[in-house]
């Protein structure tokens, strides 16, 4: 069949249009396929945090998520409402989702060993964050602060605040420690008790309640209301006659907040005892400004998170976890291969150094970017 010039031109246009559409579709499929391939290459970090309701862990979880996403990773973040069974389930879900690394702040480090067997089977690296995970070979690394030194700092602060080395007086003190299910609680307590042991042995420090063993001083769940109730009971039983209480070594701010409430409502002495804490919780910092708490041991969780991200990247890039790696971190820390034995092995650890915060150096917290002064420049509040 012979086409005239007009029809021939129409046919050429149609063929050209079809050809262009075919190319466009092909290019679209290629771009889409490339995008899918690119998305498939993005690593996913599984974060398991203890509880969103606790200021410390909410702050850590959100900041870690932000850092990992900034580095280009996908993040699955789960909070476990401070419930061990829920955290086991959360971790099982993360493992089933084939995350590339698990970073876990354990509710109870002794309950996860069986769950982490599945992570080992899938070759998913595990980083214990802030709290050591016990009785398993699955843990590749531990990132935390030097938790024993936290207790040492608190004990030494009490010694210095009471001027115990400068007087012949004896002093009454009490201990309020954390949940025995939390491995860190033992380090905090032992650091404090070891520091004041010679003062207890000499009679310079006395504990009227007699509560010195871990089971006696422990606070289940690190619960503020339990710390409040326990201190009220101690005050009623041993201090109701006006006996002076000179100091309370509290392992953390969530405990000191309850202790301060009990002191304010139930203590008959004329003094405000020296009270320690840890974590830089907003309510505790307010108590410090108001003279109701003496100090807090601040662990810059931003630094801890930075180190955790650096360790995670190193693992994903196949780098060796060693002494030299810490020189690449933005925060100072020590590399420790001996101190943290989880019952199955000595876990490689990167340990950061905590800092003492009192009323005199609160500006240092504001400089971290995690806090800001209120409009009257009296109290610190969360920066975001």
Distance CA 355, CA 353 (A): 7
What tens digit of pLDDT does each residue of 288-328 get? Answer: 999 999 999 999 888 999 999 999 999 999 999 999 999 99
What tens digit of pLDDT does each residue of 89-120 get? Answer: 999 999 999 999 999 999 999 999 999 999 99
Q: By C-alpha distance, which of 134, 136, 95, 141 is closest to 118?
A: 95
CA separation (Å) from 19 to 6, 25, 274?
A: 20, 10, 83
Element (H, E) at 47: strand 44-49
pLDDT, residue 364, reads: 94
How many C-beta atoms surround the C-beta of residue 32 within 10 A? 10
Backbone φ and ψ for 92, nearest 5 degrees, come out as: -60, -40
Paired tokens of 257: 């907040």
Percent share of the chain, pLDDT over 70: 90
What tens digit of pLDDT does each residue of 49-87 get? Answer: 999 888 889 889 999 999 999 999 999 999 999 999 999
Instruction: Determine contact, residues 366/377, Cβ cutoff 8 Å.
Output: no
Can you list the domains of the chain with their CATH numbers?
43-145+300-353 (3.40.50.2300), 148-278 (3.40.50.2300)
Q: By C-alpha distance, which of 182, 210, 217, 175 is closest to 196?
A: 175
What tens digit of pLDDT does each residue of 245-286 get? Answer: 999 999 999 999 999 999 999 999 999 999 999 999 999 999
Give the helix ranges, DSSP H, for the chain. 5-41, 55-70, 84-96, 115-121, 147-161, 183-202, 214-217, 224-238, 253-266, 282-289, 301-316, 363-366
Per DSSP, the three-state class of 14 is helix
Predicted model pTM: 0.77
pLDDT, residue 28, reads: 45
**Buried b or exposed e, range 289-321, using 16+ CB within 10 angstroms:** eeebbbbbbbbbbbbbbbbbbbbbbbbeeeeeb
């Amino acid at each position: 069949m012979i086409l005239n010039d007009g029809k021939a031109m129409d046919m050429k246009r149609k063929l050209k249009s079809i050809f262009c559409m075919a190319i466009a579709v092909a290019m679209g499929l290629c771009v889409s396929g490339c995008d899918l391939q690119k998305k498939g290459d993005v690593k996913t970090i599984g974060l398991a945090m203890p509880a969103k309701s606790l200021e410390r862990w909410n702050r850590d979880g959100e900041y870690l998520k932000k850092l990992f996403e900034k580095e280009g990773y996908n993040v699955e973040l789960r909070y476990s409402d401070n419930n061990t069974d829920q955290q086991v389930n959360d971790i099982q879900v993360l493992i089933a989702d084939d995350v590339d690394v698990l970073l876990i702040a354990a509710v109870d480090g002794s309950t996860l060993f069986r769950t982490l067997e599945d992570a080992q089977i899938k070759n998913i690296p595990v980083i214990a964050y802030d709290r050591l995970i016990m009785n398993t070979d699955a843990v590749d690394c531990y990132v935390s602060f030097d938790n024993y030194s936290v207790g040492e700092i608190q004990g030494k602060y009490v010694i210095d605040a009471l001027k115990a080395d400068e007087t012949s007086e004896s002093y009454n003190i009490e201990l309020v420690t954390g949940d025995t299910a939390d491995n860190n609680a033992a380090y905090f307590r032992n650091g404090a008790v070891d520091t004041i042991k010679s003062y207890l042995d000499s009679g310079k420090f006395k504990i009227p309640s007699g509560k010195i063993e871990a089971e006696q001083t422990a606070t289940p769940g690190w619960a503020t209301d339990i710390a409040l109730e326990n201190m009220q009971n101690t005050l009623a039983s041993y201090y109701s006659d006006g006996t002076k209480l000179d100091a309370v070594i509290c392992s953390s701010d969530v405990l000191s907040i309850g202790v301060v409430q009990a002191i304010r409502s139930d203590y008959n002495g004329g003094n405000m005892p020296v009270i320690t804490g840890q974590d830089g919780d907003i309510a505790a910092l307010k108590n410090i400004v108001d003279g109701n708490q003496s100090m807090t041991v601040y662990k810059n969780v931003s630094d801890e998170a930075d180190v955790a991200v650096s360790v995670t990247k190193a693992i994903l890039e196949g780098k060796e976890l060693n002494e030299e790696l810490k020189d690449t971190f933005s925060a100072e820390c020590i590399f420790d291969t001996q101190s943290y034995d989880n019952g199955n092995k000595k876990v490689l650890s990167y340990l950061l150094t905590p800092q003492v915060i009192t009323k005199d150096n609160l500006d240092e917290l504001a400089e971290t970017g995690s806090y800001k002064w209120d409009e009257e420049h009296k109290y610190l509040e969360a920066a975001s």
